[in-house]
Amino acid sequence: MFQLNQPYKRTVLLFMTASIIIFSFISYQIIVMGITGFDGFMAEIMPLPPSSVLTLLMEGISILGSVYLLAAASLLLVLYMWRQQEIHKILFFLTAMFGGVVLNLLLKIGFGRSRPENLEAYDVFGVTLHFVNYSFPSGHTMRTFIFYGCLLLFLLTDKRIQSRIKTIISCMLASIILLVGISRVYLEAHYPSDIIAGYTVSLAWMCICIFAVGRMSQSNSSHLSRQTFGKD
């Protein structure tokens, strides 16, 4: 997974560059205008009428990116990878997740963008959830993208799994990432640009982590090869 050959490096670099460009464009619009043209456009073409059934569905989908669920799932994933002795995957995953949290907090504080209608809390199945009253970029979207994105990356690079199973699970993981973002906009916890920014920052950060862990993996491999050669 972390063997950075040239085609793989170019692909990762392309995704990272594109993500940074999109995030920079959105950030510029927010700094200059406060709200992006994309947010206004989405508000005009998607005026969803209130629906108790749809709201309940969106609340359920949003839980798939909740702190508690992802924290428990992350612990189980790390324990599984530890048993499989996949140390580099553990290092990548923990760096991506914890680094993503720190990066999100720094960006929220830096931009200081209020949530739609200054929303500070909303009820999910009768439980009131409170927010840090900054919305850009979406922390909910970032941790969802990074967690399920890591699962997707591990899946696609696992040669033991059949291609058809990879395709099915990949579509499910991608759908979760997309639907969680949509749910945050529907529940008025975020602007659409908060969600897009969350996606792009997460993708760029994951690319950086791939480069960092890949270099570390290559260095360790080279060191072991030199030791083996010296013994021979």
Summarised one tens digit per residue, pLDDT across range 92-144 is 999 999 999 999 989 988 887 777 665 555 444 455 555 556 778 888 999 99
**Which range has highest mean pLDDT (7-16, 42-51, 109-118, 147-156)?**
147-156
Residue type, 219: S
- Mean pLDDT score across all residues of the chain: 80
Please report the pLDDT score of residue 73 as a whole number.
95
Please report the pLDDT score of residue 168 as a whole number.
93
C-alpha distance from residue 45 to each of 41, 176, 189, 232 (Å): 6, 23, 19, 69
Please report the pLDDT score of residue 185 as a whole number.
84
Over residues 181-203, the pLDDT tens digits come to 988 888 877 888 889 999 999 99
Share of the chain above pLDDT 90, in %: 34
With 50 as the cut, is the pLDDT of residue 154 above it? yes
Please report the pLDDT score of residue 212 as a whole number.
83
Please report the pLDDT score of residue 172 as a whole number.
95
- For residues 165 and 170, give the distance between their C-alpha atoms in angstroms, rounded to a whole number: 8
β pairing state of 121-124 and 127-130: antiparallel
- For residues 96 and 207, give the distance between their C-alpha atoms in angstroms, rounded to a whole number: 9
89 within 8 A of 81, measured Cβ to Cβ? yes
- For residues 69 and 60, give the distance between their C-alpha atoms in angstroms, rounded to a whole number: 12
Band (161; pLDDT cuts 50, 70, 90)? confident
Residue whose pair of structure tokens reads 């395709």 in the numeric block: 167
Residue type, 150: C
Share of the chain above pLDDT 70, in %: 75
- For residues 5 and 12, give the distance between their C-alpha atoms in angstroms, rounded to a whole number: 11
Q: Which of 200, 190, 61, 219 is nearest to 115 (CA)?
A: 190
C-alpha distance from residue 164 to each of 155, 156, 169, 170 (Å): 12, 11, 9, 10
With 50 as the cut, is the pLDDT of residue 83 above it? yes
Residues 6 or more apart in contact with residue 174 via CB below 8 angstroms: 152
The distance in angstroms from the start CA to the end CA of the chain is 29
162 within 8 A of 103, measured Cβ to Cβ? no
With 60 as the cut, is the pLDDT of residue 231 above it? no
Band (87; pLDDT cuts 50, 70, 90)? confident
pTM (2 d.p.): 0.81
DSSP codes of every residue in 153-191: HHHHT-TTS-HHHHHHHHHHHHHHHHHHHHHHHHTTSS-
